[in-house]
Structure 1
């Protein structure tokens, strides 16, 4: 089986490829793409047996791919969106994987594809239209996998997101921290900017988590968060973001 993975998060793409190999070593991942532009170019020259496709890509929404090039390959979407989008998938008999993706769910999706392979009839243009109409503007919740358990976390519970070493984590107002499968760049695009602001390369904060602010060197601003970061880590608004930060607070 020849598989194409369209996912702009490298960690998530690698995880998907590793799980596919674990399920069936004979599966061939032809390519891993991260953008609408790359995907349009790829489909104009290539084909696959099945595509695993994330909804939000580095340069836009995956639905744009179908508007720019003919895609005749069955698609399994990977999504973290709410039940309205999921219902659209179900009506059109297209499988989906809810992030964070579990090995069990991936195996079941592949089995479903194999069982429908010879009779699958999909109207992707209709599916795209439905999903565009139901796509929520901003994320409302995150699903976090802890071992075999999946925990639902509402955005209102999150104080801030931060990058540490090679991972990205969310911090709840009640103090718990959990890893997430999104980069801060992507989180910045899918969270409501009325409530969250990217203060520097490592922090994306909820306005309600800001406890105090003080002037810092070179016109920057030091932010005290509640709950605080461990080890007395200082959160400084980078100089190129100070103006936007002030406007955000005054909006």
Structure 2
């Protein structure tokens, strides 16, 4: 088994070697590249059974390398990036190990790709998938809100923005419903919250409600130029106002 490791941090590389040795013993060879330039040279000259890749290398992101060279083997990404990027990987069925990862995390990623590849179900990275991953990385690197601190009777909990389906105004605070249907109280006004959110992901459909595009399941016409929206995790269907419907339609097509 021949493996390419794309990792610019030596301690992380050594950790991967230890896990590979525990999993495969001496039954593997590998090359190590700390930059896209070196990685490209290896990929043009060699064939690999799979690739272990960090996202940020010494001379840029590895997505650019995979966009340039056709890769016909599984890629397991190992990185400290989370939030939007983690969701993008899951959506596209790509194995992703979030740093700091454990041996169990590593083994699960290896087993997933061995299973997919052996069954012929592995989908190669294409330009559309890479474009989605780059967009997710760009979103993650912006200054938009990533999580809210929720005060509860039993202590403090964190609500990740990527999990929010709907936000509703309720006096001087708001109620956020996540994609599993759980409700969380945010001690901010709707206007204040909206300013902190990514406008490509969240839209204020009326005076009191904000929806997330990732959890819209269905949209149906309603009277007076309004739209009823089915949201994941939300029982009642929020409705656009007559004045917001036109802008909402344009937002959906961005």
Q: Normalising to structure 2: TM-score of the pair?
A: 0.52
**C-alpha offsets along residues 85-127 of structure 1, whole Å, 9 cap, x if unaligned?**
1121112211000001210000111111111112212333222
> Does the aligned pair in 2 maintain the 1:3–1:27 contact within 8 Å?
no
Which residue does 2:102 correspond to in 1? 102
Q: Cα distance, 1:130 vs. partner?
A: 0.9
The aligned counterpart of 1:77 is: 77
4+ residue segments displaced more than 3 Å: 138-141
Larger Rg, first or second structure (1 or 2): 2
Which of 122, 125, 135 in structure 1 is aligned with 2:124? 122
- 1:1-251 correspondence runs (5 A): 1-117=1-117, 118-135=120-137, 136-137=140-141
Alpha-carbon distance, 1:137 to partner: 2.2
How big is the shift at 1:81?
1.4
Assess, with a 3 A threshold, how the Cα gap between structure 1 residues 63 and 51 changes in structure 2: closer, same or farther: same
* Unaligned ranges ≥5, structure 2: 147-254
- Quote the Cα distance in structure 2 between the aligned partners of 1:123 and 1:7: 19
Residue correspondences, number: 141
8 Å CA contact 1:43, 1:70 repeated in 2: no
Contact 1:7–1:53 under 8 Å retained in 2 = yes
Contact 1:92 1:122 in 2 (8 A): no
In structure 1, C-alpha distance between the alignment counterparts of 2:68 and 2:125, rounded to whole Å:
16
Q: CA RMSD in A?
A: 2.0
Gaps of 5+ in 1: 142-251
CA contact (8 A) 1:93 1:122 kept: no
Partner of 2:158: none
